[in-house]
A and B are shown apart, each in its own frame.
Chain A
Amino acid sequence: GAVVSQHPSWVICKSGTSVKIECRSLDFQATTMFWYRQFPKQSLMLMATSNEGSKATYEQGVEKDKFLINHASLTLSTLTVTSAHPEDSSFYICSARKIYEQYFGPGTRLTVT
């Protein structure tokens, strides 16, 4: 199989603080991981593509200084939301690429108060 985990599954933080979300491929190595954001009742919006050992590629309109992505190993990518604001509250989903398929994590619900 191909399993992707995310941690935490939900997090509440205060405005102005930073929060880190981890994405791990548990049984395969992924040179490429993706981070998506999903608003209620909407589709997934690709935020960035994370490549192991190199800088992430951000989609147009995504603030790279706000959403820091680090792909330190072939099984781990992290997304850090810096100086979080209530408008950053959302459902964040990661996925890991295996050949031409993507396997998705269960998502992380972020609420900024």
Chain B
Amino acid sequence: AQSVTQPDIHITVSEGASLELRCNYSYGATPYLFWYVQSPGQGLQLLLKYFSGDTLVQGIKGFEAEFKRSQSSFNLRKPSVHWSDAAEYFCAVGLSNTGGFKTIFGAGTRLFVKA
């Protein structure tokens, strides 16, 4: 069965430090991969996506992610975290088959930023 795993429930980093959020997926083919951010009580905002091509993708707010097929991973990175980055981050996999299209979300990683 298809699944998305975010091994870290929460992460705390100091402001200005680098960040990496992990994501692994289980799917037979190359999926569509997404990272979303959610602030408390808000909907989801797309940070970046990977469909094909260059495995290092750039997103908004200085985020980037790298697709590694051999590791079935799509980790999110940011070189220098800002206090406003504190939020919940979701990795997601878009699946398209004869049954239609759906997106499966990981459990999320809450990012705390300390001064």
Contact = CB atoms under 8 A, between A and B. Distances in A.
A and B physically associate: yes
Interface of A: 4, 6, 32, 34, 41-44, 46, 49, 57, 91, 93, 95, 97, 100-107, 109
A98 to B, nearest CB: 11
Q: State the majority secondary structure of interface residues on B.
A: strand
Most chain B CB atoms below 10 A, which of A91, A93, A97, A100: A100
B17 interface: no
B43 A44 contact: no
B100 interface: yes
A93 B44 contact: yes
B41 A100 contact: no
Contacts of A95: 44, 103
B105 interface: yes
Interface residues of B, number: 24
A30 B101 CA distance: 13
A100 B96 contact: yes
Nearest to A93: B43
Contact of A46 (B34, B41, B42, B102): B102
Interface in B25-70: 32, 34, 36, 41-46, 49, 51
A43 B100 contact: no
B10 to A, nearest CB: 10
